[in-house]
Chain A
Amino acid sequence: MSIDRFISDAFSQWLEATFDSQRVRAIEQDGADPADWQAVSDSGFADLLLAEQYGGAGANLETVGEVLQTCGACALPLPLATTMWVRAALAAEGHELLPASITLTRGQRVEKGVKCHDVAFAATAEQVLVLLDDGAWLLPVADAQGADAQRGTGLSVDLYWKTFPASALKLKQPHDWEAIGAALFAALIAGAASRVLKLSLNYAAERQQFGKPIARFQAVQQQLSVLAEEVYAVRMAAQLALRGNGLAVDPRLAALAKARASQAVSSIGAIGHMVHGAIGITEEYDLQLYTRRLHDWRLQLGSERYWQQRLGQALLDSELPVLDFMRGLTGSG
Chain B
Amino acid sequence: MLQALDFIPEPLAHEPLREQVRNFLLDRMAAYPTDVRARSWQGFDADFSRALAARGWVGLTLPKAYGGAELDAFARFVVVEELLCAGAPVAAHWIADRQSGPLILRYGSDAQKAFYLPRICQGQAFFCIGMSEPGAGSDLASVRSRAQRAGDGEGDGWRLNGQKIWTTYAQHSDYMIALVRTSGSPEDRHRGLSQLIIDLTLPGIDIRPIRDLTGSSHFAEVFFNDVHLPADALIGAEGQGWEQVTAELAFERSGPERLYSSLVLLDAWLAWLRERGKRDDAVLLGRLVAELTTLRGLSLAVTGRLAAGHSPVIEAALVKDLGTSFEQSVPLLIADAIGTDGEPPPVLLRRTLEYLCQVAPAFSLRGGTREILRGVIARGLDLR
In the complex, what's the smallest C-beta–C-beta distance from B239 to chain A, in angstroms? 30
User: Which residues from A are CB-within-8-Å of B287?
Assistant: 259, 263, 304, 308, 312
Most buried by B among A216, A225, A310, A333: A225
User: Which residues from B are CB-within-8-Å of A29?
Assistant: none
Question: CB-nearest residue of chain B relative to A331?
Answer: B9
Question: CB-nearest residue of chain A relative to B281?
Answer: A312
In the complex, what's the smallest C-beta–C-beta distance from A226 to chain B, in angstroms? 7
Interface residues of A in 288-314 (CB under 8 A from B): 304-305, 307-313
User: Which residues from A are CB-within-8-Å of B286?
Assistant: 255, 259, 307-313, 315
Interface residues of A in 126-170 (CB under 8 A from B): none
Most buried by A among B266, B290, B377: B290
Q: Secondary structure of the B side of the interface?
A: helix
Assembly CA distance A333 to B384 (angstroms):
39
What number of residue pairs across chains A and B have CB atoms under 8 A from each other? Answer: 165
Would you give the 0/1 interface string for B7-39, flagging 1 where the beta carbon is closer than 8 Å to chain A?
111111001000000000000000000000000
A218 near B375 with CB under 8 A, answer: yes
Q: From known contacts A309-B286, A312-B283, infer whether A240 and B294 are also in contact, taking CB-CB under 8 Å.
A: yes
Task: Judge if A222 is at the interface, Cβ distance under 8 Å.
Answer: yes
Question: CB-nearest residue of chain A relative to B278?
Answer: A316
Size of A's binding interface in residues, CB under 8 A? 51
A330 near B9 with CB under 8 A, answer: yes
Task: Judge if B136 is at the interface, Cβ distance under 8 Å.
Answer: no
User: Which residues from A are CB-within-8-Å of B273?
Assistant: 316
A240 near B377 with CB under 8 A, answer: no
Assembly CA distance A239 to B296 (angstroms):
13
Assembly CA distance A119 to B193 (angstroms):
62
B297 near A228 with CB under 8 A, answer: no
B292 near A229 with CB under 8 A, answer: no
Question: CB-nearest residue of chain A relative to B321?
Answer: A229
Assembly CA distance A232 to B2 (angstroms):
11
Question: CB-nearest residue of chain A relative to B15?
Answer: A332
Question: CB-nearest residue of chain A relative to B374?
Answer: A225
User: Which residues from B are CB-within-8-Å of A94?
Assistant: none
Q: What 9 A-B pairs come out closest when comparing CB atoms?
A: A312-B286, A312-B282, A308-B286, A333-B9, A312-B285, A311-B286, A221-B378, A225-B377, A225-B374
Known contacts A201-B381, A326-B293; 12 additional CB pairs below 8 A are A221-B383, A225-B373, A225-B381, A232-B298, A235-B4, A236-B297, A236-B301, A259-B290, A263-B287, A312-B286, A323-B81, A325-B289
**Can you list 8 A-B pairs, Cβ within 8 angstroms, ordered by A?**
A222-B374, A232-B5, A239-B297, A308-B283, A312-B283, A326-B292, A330-B297, A332-B11
